[in-house]
Amino acid sequence: MRLRTIHVIAAAFLALLTPLYAQIPSTPARIGYAPIDGLKMYYEIRGSGDPLVLIHGGVGGIAMFGNLPDTLARHRQVIAVELQGHGRTADIDRPFSYEAMADDIVALLKYLGFPCSDVMGYSLGGEVALQTAIRHPETVRKLILVSTTFSRNGWYPEVLAQFDQMGPSAGEGMKQSPLNQIYPNVNWVALFTKLGDLERKPYDWSASVASLKMSILLIFADADAIRQEHIIEFYGLLGGGKRDAGLDGSRRAAAQLTVLPGATHYNITASPILPDVVTNFLDGPPGAH
């Protein structure tokens, strides 16, 4: 891989993460490492009440969410996690897969004593959250997917081109990045190698998505890295956007779609609108698709 390409990929991820680190959450009420299938999965718990699992995007960790965990914890118990090979969860000898990481989330809930939880994921974490709902629907009360795809072709072609070039060389470049100071124990070469392998694999979960029964909120940026057509198709799979809901809204789909203005895929978790959108959905009545 050419050096310029390495720098472009590293810069893209830094653009995603760096603006949020000035708002890293305060010291959590409870932290721990859960023994799960060979992993020591790092988690942080804030607040009290109904549980909400919060799953970060690729490359970063909990710090990617800035002060969002603190804000959401005003209304519920937020369980922020760090996935295999990310943040403070050390890697193990296992390829990255959405399915395996989804199983890790369910194992964590069991370890913490929660039979079910609301689940919210962003980007890579959204795909993990979606697989959690597909594979273990009984554990997911409400599902929130932020800038998430249900198939690989949902990404714009230029994003897929970046995925195609992710590998060890890009990981080497991350050793000199500010992220290395926040997460000094991350094996960046292994992380980028495994992420590249994961993101190059085709997937299409449309049939499984259409069969989901829990309440689902889709959130996208108005300038996302995910194609507009894919966003509409995703909502359509959940029964949305197919007909007039009527004057009283009685015919509307149980699923909800929100597009946040002035946001991109890389800063959507810092949107000042996001906490209210999430809280209003979670506090609303449980619909059924």
Q: How many domains does the chain have?
A: 1
CA distances from 257 to 38, 192, 217, 221 (A): 37, 31, 6, 11
| pLDDT value at residue 254 | 79
As a whole number of angstroms, the distance between CA 149 and CA 184 comes to 30
Paired tokens of 44: 């942080």
pLDDT at 1: 38
Domain of residue 103: give its range: 3-283
Does 20 map to a domain? yes
Residue 289 confidence (pLDDT): 39
Residue-level pLDDT at 175: 84
Question: What does the pLDDT read at residue 288?
Answer: 43
DSSP character for 155?
B
Q: What is the pLDDT along the chain (289 residues), one digit of tens a residue?
A: 343 444 444 455 555 555 555 455 555 679 999 999 899 999 999 999 999 999 999 999 999 999 999 999 999 999 999 999 999 999 999 999 999 999 999 999 999 999 999 999 999 999 999 999 999 999 999 999 999 999 999 999 999 999 999 999 888 988 888 888 899 999 999 999 999 999 999 999 999 999 999 999 999 999 999 999 999 999 999 999 877 666 566 666 779 999 999 999 999 999 999 999 999 999 987 754 3
Q: Is residue 288 part of a domain?
A: no
Q: What is the spatial distance between Cα 108 and Cα 41, in angstroms, rounded to a whole number?
A: 8
Structure token digits, residue 165: 């070039």
Q: Coil, helix or strand for 226? A: strand
Q: In this structure, is residue 289 part of a structural domain? A: no
**Sole residue written with tokens 């015919």:** 251
Sign of CA dihedral 216, 219, 224, 227: positive
Amino acid residing at 253: A
- If one counts every other C-beta atom within 10 angstroms of the C-beta of residue 115, the result is 10
Domain holding 43: CATH number? 3.40.50.1820
From the number of C-beta atoms within 10 Å of its C-beta (0-12, 13-18, 19+), residue 63 rates as buried
